[in-house]
């Protein structure tokens, strides 16, 4: 099979990429693959999977939808396509500028876009919305009622303290 770019050398790099539920196959010779940033060390015999993944970031920008290529941060001017290439945001305003895209990305990577684990207790108080505070207070009160009903007084004391702390901080 001939290289899809130069059409003169035999293809030795075969790549299948699925982006946005579309599968694209690419057949390249080693020279054309290196031009596209996919030099895998095949010439030297040194094969490293991290090099493959790292070198392919430039290739994936070809698959970005046009609206994501032109999206820019209002604070630093970083393009969304540049973020996808480097994996680094430019400033704190980038989080707001790219919020829908970052939420989608976090959902794909972690399964959810919102943190659901424990919060660091040594730092400043966590800022919660009124709805989150009300929901958390309701959960704590219900858990406290269950602990008292089960006669788990140590657990009830812990829940009572957590409830007082939350009410004192936000109440």
DSSP classification of residue 13? E
Residue pLDDT, tens place only, 20-55: 667 778 888 888 877 776 655 545 444 444 444 444
pLDDT 10s per residue in the chain (171 long)?
Answer: 888 888 888 888 877 777 666 777 888 888 887 777 665 554 544 444 444 444 454 555 555 555 555 788 888 999 888 888 888 888 989 988 888 888 888 888 877 777 777 766 655 555 667 888 888 899 999 999 999 999 999 999 999 999 998 887 765
Residue 24: φ, ψ to 5°: -130, 135
What is residue 102's predicted lDDT score, i.e. its pLDDT? 87
- How deeply is 161 buried, as exposed, middle or buried, from its count of CB atoms within 10 A (0-12, 13-18, 19+)? exposed
What is residue 111's predicted lDDT score, i.e. its pLDDT? 77
What is residue 149's predicted lDDT score, i.e. its pLDDT? 94
Distance in angstroms (rounded) separating the CA atoms of residues 105 and 82: 15
What is residue 147's predicted lDDT score, i.e. its pLDDT? 92
Distance in angstroms (rounded) separating the CA atoms of residues 36 and 28: 10
Tokens 């919060």 label which residue? Answer: 119
Beta bridge partners of 28: 13
What is residue 170's predicted lDDT score, i.e. its pLDDT? 66
* DSSP assignment of 117-167: SPPPSSSSPPP--HHHHHHHHHHHHHHHHHHHHTT-HHHHHHHHHHHHHHH
What is residue 50's predicted lDDT score, i.e. its pLDDT? 47
């Amino acid at each position: 099979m001939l290289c899809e770019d130069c059409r003169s050398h035999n293809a030795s790099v075969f790549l299948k990429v699925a982006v946005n539920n579309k599968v694209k196959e690419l057949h390249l010779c080693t020279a054309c693959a290196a031009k596209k940033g996919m030099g895998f060390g095949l010439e030297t015999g040194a094969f490293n999977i991290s090099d493959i993944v790292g070198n392919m970031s430039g290739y994936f920008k070809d698959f970005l939808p046009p609206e994501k290529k032109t999206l820019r941060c209002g604070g630093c001017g970083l393009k969304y396509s540049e973020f996808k290439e480097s994996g680094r945001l430019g400033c704190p305003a980038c989080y707001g500028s790219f919020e829908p895209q970052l939420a989608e990305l976090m959902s794909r990577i972690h399964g959810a876009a919102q943190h659901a684990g424990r919060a660091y207790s040594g730092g400043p108080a966590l800022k919660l919305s009124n709805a989150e505070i009300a929901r958390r207070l309701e959960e704590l009160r219900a858990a406290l009622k269950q602990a008292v009903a089960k006669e788990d007084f140590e657990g009830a004391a812990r829940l009572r303290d957590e409830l007082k702390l939350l009410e004192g901080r936000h109440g």
